[in-house]
């Protein structure tokens, strides 16, 4: 199922972004650590010099056991804060 979702995102991106599409794919997004902020800064640097249209999250995005609701503080500390400077659309891939 993950392969199907990945292919769907790639095909859909052609309709949304045209013939040339740039994207970041990553999983195991992090815990809000110093290293996660460093990785996010590297992504920002990469996108300054390369075409980046969107990000696809591949899974295992919140550690140690996921988020409990839309109000869970992990949204801010482990996702919104580290990736705040990436002005891209984030798509999350998951199994049904």
Q: What is the pLDDT of residues 6-60, one digit of tens each?
A: 555 555 555 555 567 788 888 777 788 998 899 899 999 988 888 888 888 887 7
Can you read off the two tokens belonging to residue 46? Answer: 């990469």
Q: Are 30 and 62 in contact (CB under 8 A)?
A: no
Does residue 33 or residue 64 have the better pLDDT? 33
**Cα gap 78→36, rounded to integer Å:** 8
pTM of the predicted protein model = 0.71
**Cα gap 84→44, rounded to integer Å:** 10
* Radius of gyration, alpha carbons of the chain: 14
Residue that the structure tokens 């949204």 belong to:
75
Across 54-68, average pLDDT: 80
């Amino acid at each position: 199922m993950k392969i199907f979702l990945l292919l769907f995102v790639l095909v859909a991106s052609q309709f949304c972004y045209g013939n040339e599409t740039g994207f970041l794919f990553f999983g195991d997004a992090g815990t809000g650590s110093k290293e996660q902020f460093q990785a996010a800064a590297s992504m920002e640097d990469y996108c300054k010099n390369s075409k980046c249209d969107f990000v696809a999250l591949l899974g295992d995005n919140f550690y140690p056991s996921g988020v409990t609701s839309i109000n869970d503080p992990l949204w801010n500390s482990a996702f919104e804060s580290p990736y705040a400077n990436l002005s891209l659309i984030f798509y999350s891939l998951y199994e049904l």
